[in-house]
Amino acid sequence: MSDAPTLWDTTRSEFLKFRTVRATFIGLATLILLTIGLAVLITVVIRTNWNQRSPVERLAFDPVATSLVGVFFAQFAVGVMGARAITSEYASGAIRTTLAAVPRRVRLVISKAIVLLVTFFVVSEVVVVVAFSVGQAIYRGGHLPSGTLSNSTDLRAVVMAGVYLTMLTLVGLGLGLILRTTSVTISIYVTLLLIIPIIVNFLPSNWQSHVSKFLPSNLGQAMTSPSAFSPNSFSWTSATLVLALYTLAIVGVGTFLLTRRDA
C-alpha cells in the first residue's frame, strides 16, 4: 500500500465512477436504441416503398448510408455523455473530491479520456455493425441492393462511423472541460454540429466549398461514405485526421484550463 498510484489506478477509479451511476446505462441504452432502431425503421420504410421509386432514385440509393442514419442522432447522445463525464462533477461539487484524490489534473483528464475512448469505441462499433447488418438483411429480404462487411469499402464506412462517434464523445469531454456546465456545453455542441452548418449554407457558394468540408458533420459524412461524398469534401483519411486534430485541440484547451483554474 506504500507504492505510488499510477495512471492505471486513476483510470480504474474513473472507470468505477463511470459504471456506478445509472445515467451511464441510460445514455448507452439511448445510443444503442437510436442507432439500431432508426436503422430498422428507415430500411423497412425504404423497402416498403421501393416499387414506387423511379429508376434514377434506385440508382442513387445508398444501402450503407441509409442503414447508418442513426449515427446522425447517436452523435448527440455520445456528445452529451462525454460532456457529462466532467460537467456532472462540476454540477454536484464532486470535482473537488475528485481533485483531492487526483491532484495531477492532466492525469485525471487522460484517465477520463481512456475510459470514454475504450467504452465508446467498443459500444459504437458493436452498435454500427448491428445497425448495418440488420439494415442489409432487411434490404436483402426485399431483393434491394445491399452491402456486406466482406466488401472493404462498406466495412470501412461502418468502422469509421464507430470511430466518428468515439471522437465526438471526446469532443464532448473537451467542451465540458472548457465550459463546465452541462447546459452550456450541450448548447455549444449542438451549435457546432447543427447550427453552424445551417449558417454556412447561407454563405456565398464559392465560400461554402472552402468552409463546409471543415464542419464536423461533413467530416463525419466524408469518413463514413463508401465513395467520395462530394467533390469538395475531404478523403476519408484526411477527414479522420482533421477531426482527430479538432478533438485533440478541444481536449487540450480544456485540460490546460483545468490546470489553471481554481476548482
Partner 1 sequence: MLKIDHLTKRYGSTVAVNDLDFDVTAGVVTGFLGPNGSGKSTTMRVVMGLDRPTSGRATVNGQTYDELKAPLREVGALLDAKSLDPNRSARNHLRALALANRISFARVDEVLEFVGVASVAHKKVGGFSLGMSQRLGIAGALLGDPGTLLFDEPVNGLDPEGIRWIRDFFRSLAKEGRTVFVSSHLMSEMAVSADQIIVIGRGKFITSGTVNQLTAGAAGTVLVRSADPSRLAHVLRDAHAIVEELSDQGLHVSGLDAVQVGDAAFRSGIAVHELTPQRASLEDVFMSLTADALEYGHKNAEAVSE
Instruction: Compute the CA torsion angle 71, 75, 76, 82 (nearest 10 deg).
Output: 140
* Interaction of residue 17 with partner 1, rule CB under 8 A: yes
Closer to partner 1 by Cβ: residue 47 or 104: 104
d(CA 130, CA 26): 19
Q: Which stretch binds partner 1 (CB under 8 A): 4-12, 142-150, 174-182, 240-248?
A: 4-12
Output the smallest distance, CB 67 to partner 1, in A.
Answer: 35
- The interface with partner 1 within residues 101-140 (CB under 8 A) comprises 101-104
Task: From 196, 189, 244, select the one nearest 78 (Cα to Cα).
Answer: 189
Residue 149, classed as helix, strand or coil, is coil
Q: Which amino acid is at 75?
A: Q
* Interaction of residue 51 with partner 1, rule CB under 8 A: no
Output the smallest distance, CB 239 to partner 1, in A.
Answer: 36
Among 33, 149, 184, 263, binds partner 1 (CB under 8 A): 263
* Interaction of residue 20 with partner 1, rule CB under 8 A: yes
Contact 171, 216 (CB under 8 A): yes
Output the smallest distance, CB 244 to partner 1, in A.
Answer: 28
The 70-99 contact track toward partner 1, x by CB under 8 A, reads ------------------xx--xxxxxx-x
Among 4, 56, 59, 60, binds partner 1 (CB under 8 A): 4
Output the smallest distance, CB 20 to partner 1, in A.
Answer: 4
Among 16, 194, 195, 203, binds partner 1 (CB under 8 A): 16
Q: Which stretch binds partner 1 (CB under 8 A): 12-20, 33-41, 138-146, 171-179?
A: 12-20
Contacts of residue 154, defined as CB under 8 A and 6 or more positions apart, other chains included, come to 64, 132, 147, 148, 226
Task: From 205, 173, 201, select the one nearest 189 (Cα to Cα).
Answer: 173
Output the smallest distance, CB 27 to partner 1, in A.
Answer: 12
Residue spans of alpha helices (H) in the chain: 7-19, 22-49, 55-60, 63-67, 70-92, 94-101, 105-141, 152-179, 182-190, 196-201, 205-211, 216-224, 236-260
Output the smallest distance, CB 157 to partner 1, in A.
Answer: 37
Task: From 243, 54, 261, select the one nearest 165 (Cα to Cα).
Answer: 243
Which three cell numbers mark 105? 489534473
Output the smallest distance, CB 187 to partner 1, in A.
Answer: 23
Q: Which residues bind partner 1 (CB under 8 A)?
A: 1, 3-5, 9-10, 12-14, 16-17, 20-23, 88-89, 92-97, 99-104, 260, 262-263
